[in-house]
Amino acid sequence: MPTPVAHRVLSRRYRVPASRFAVTTKDGVTLSGARLGGGDGPSLVFCHGFLGWHRKASLVRFQEELARPFTVYAVDFRGHGQSGGLSTFGALEYLDVEAVASFARAEGAERVVTLGGSMGGIAVLRHAALVGGIDGVVAISTPALWDGHDSAAIRRMAWLTGTARGRAMLRAAGTRVSPDWRKTEAPADLVQDIAPVPLVLVHGRDDHYFDEEQAWLLYRRAREPKRLLLFDRFGHAEDGYTPRVAAEITRVVLEMVPA
């Protein structure tokens, strides 16, 4: 699939050894990604948010930090980057998570942790609750409920995804979305089914998409083992992908998913 101009301009090469991979989901969508790192920790399936791709510069830097202790499998979700299909805003992306997790297992990974931000967080929560078979989950900047978000950022996103003109603009920027959003179970209605797999929830107190209460609602409904990491001056998802946050996530994951 041709790379959109915006992606060519805003992408960055990895500064650590990395190799490409491709997998096909159970519903026939071909996904493109990269494998990097090779530390002693678990393998980590890295899932971007809506409008992202695995080689977006801010995501590459975060992946490289995580690749110190982990083997990172970073992938373009359906409808994004070099992958096929159409984005479903998290409804079917759990199949993408499963395809990459299975690929990591086939390569010999004994422990697999999934990590996703925003839409990626929705996908990893859905995957852990509906499919399972992983050893840990990290959900960053993830909404608990579909409704009740009246932020300007959400209103802009609703226009982009809900109108023909908005979807045309998204296609020009390299994101292909389904014309129909199929509302699925809210993350808060699934999160209790993740246990006994360890769950780490990460959220910014200043998130401009989903307020802090969304993280608390997920945390209250989840069962042990679980952790909630709240950060000041974090923003939303990749806004907060700093070396400090990578180090804190690494510390907690290695505590909860021991060798």
The burial class, CB within 10 Å (0-12 / 13-18 / 19+), for 96 is: buried
d(CA 220, CA 184): 20
> For residue 1, is pLDDT > 70?
no
Residue 141: φ, ψ to 5°: 55, 45
pLDDT (mean) for 21-31: 98
Q: How confident is the model at residue 32 (pLDDT cuts 50, 70, 90)?
A: very high
CA 126 to mean position of chain CA atoms: 11
Find the angle CA(57)-CA(61)-CA(64) to the nearest 5 degrees: 135
Query: Residue ranges per domain, the chain?
Result: 5-256
Radius of gyration of the chain (CA): 17
pLDDT for position 8: 55
Whether 71 and 91 have beta carbons less than 8 Å apart is answered as: no
* Cβ atoms < 10 Å from Cβ of 179: 9
**Ranges 114-123, 170-179, 231-240, 246-255: which has the least confidence:** 170-179
The CB density around residue 156, as the number of other CB atoms within 10 Å, is 11
pLDDT at residue 7, as a whole number: 64
Give the whole-angstrom CA distance, residue 147 versus residue 137. 24
The predicted model gives 32-54 an average pLDDT of: 95
**Over 80: is that where the pLDDT of 9 sits?**
no
pLDDT at 10 over 90: no
What does the alpha-carbon distance between residue 182 and residue 126 come to, in Å, rounded to a whole number?
14
| Res 239 pLDDT > 90 | yes
Inter-residue contact 54 to 61 (CB < 8 Å): no
Once rounded to an integer, what is the mean pLDDT over residues 64-88? 96
Render pLDDT for 134-192 as a digit per residue (tens, 0 to 9): 999 999 999 999 887 777 888 888 788 888 888 888 888 889 998 876 779 999 999 99
Residue indicated by tokens 């590459």 = 60
SS (H, E, C) 219-243: HHHCCCCEEEEEECCCCCHHHHCCH
Q: What angle do CA 168, 171, 177 make, to 5 degrees?
A: 90
Residue type, 94: Y
Q: Tens of pLDDT along 203-227?
A: 999 999 999 999 999 999 999 999 9
Which tokens hold the place of 227?
């952790």
Tell me the C-alpha distance between 258 and 224, whole Å: 16
Is the pLDDT at 6 greater than 60, yes or no?
Answer: no
* Third-level CATH fold of 5-256: Rossmann fold (3.40.50)
CA triple 97-215-35, angle to 5 deg? 25
Task: Report the chain's mean pLDDT, rounded to a whole number.
Answer: 93
Sign of CA dihedral 228, 134, 86, 6: positive
Over range 88-114, report the average pLDDT.
97
According to the model, what pLDDT value does residue 257 have?
95
Per-residue pLDDT at 4 exceeds 80: no
The two tokens of residue 62 are 């975060």
